[in-house]
Structure 1
């Protein structure tokens, strides 16, 4: 994990890369347009996801997630951007209990890296802007989304 940027009112990032065993295209399809199945794959973390605007498969759709991080139930309303050409899905926070308590902006991006000699992986990038210099980087959220991707990978291997 790397942290870049510093200071209040500046966009900062956290990154992680997760090796996957499922087929890269299968995992990309799951994270780009099968959000409704994520609670099945990560039921101990994510309880529900519903569409508020749009649908399950297109950019600019708005979804509401209900999940638990560090024992706290939270919600996250997001706008989805799908980049088929680069196998990238971005989820930008519109509203949310907890996540937007410390961050002026928050966006998580998943990019599926297709197979090479070392296999496939998912690059996860969190872009955020703190409300205050004292607010911590969203390490717990990065760990959460890393674990969700691992759960999705394991779920896909069982299909």
Structure 2
């Protein structure tokens, strides 16, 4: 019997500052569809305020060849460490996972920053593979956001 609990992590080096990247996910996730048009088709606020713990956000995205939806609650925000955690509460991921969280931490470097992604989950059964494709999706969205922020950042 396989393990039902999983944790995938990766680091994505980017040119943009940690604070600028964090602000997009924290306060302006609805702008991500402008940066990553092929992957993120829309982000809507369902309850609460952008960036507030307890607020509910609905993501419309395209992953593994399908249009998908994820409704997430903002579970934790650490502005000092540029970190935010989302917990999936409805949508396509709940077909395979009893529990699914995404944490994004933006770590400043001398030049640019590193985006540290953590996907933590509990599968409904042991036949479900670890979501390496979703982790790669997060990497690509990070790169798209970095490109958008780099364009804004240029003098």
Give TM-score scaled by structure 1 length: 0.89
For residue 34 of structure 1, what is the aligned residue in structure 2? 28
Structure 2 residue runs of 5 or longer lacking an equivalent are none
Aligned positions of 1:137-152 closer than 5 A: 137-152=130-145
Q: Is the 8 A contact 2:17 2:112 kept in 1?
A: no
3-state DSSP of counterpart to 1:86: coil
Q: Could you report, residue by residue, the CA deviation over 1:12-63 in whole angstroms, capped at 9, with x for unpaired residues?
A: 2000000010122111111211101010010110111111110112111100
Whether the aligned pair in 2 keeps the contact of 1:17 and 1:122 (CA below 8 Å) is yes
Q: Would you say how many aligned residue pairs link Structure 1 and Structure 2?
A: 150
Shift of 1:85: 2.2
Q: Distance in 2 between matches of 1:68 and 1:58?
A: 25
| Aligned pair partner of 1:7 in 3, 9, 15 | 3
Give, in angstroms, the shift of residue 122 of structure 1.
Answer: 0.5
Output the aligned Cα RMSD: 1.3
Name the SS for the 2:109 alignment partner. strand
Any runs of at least 4 consecutive aligned residues in structure 1 with deviations exceeding 6 A, and if so which?
none
TM-score by length of 2: 0.92
1:89 and 2:96 matched: no
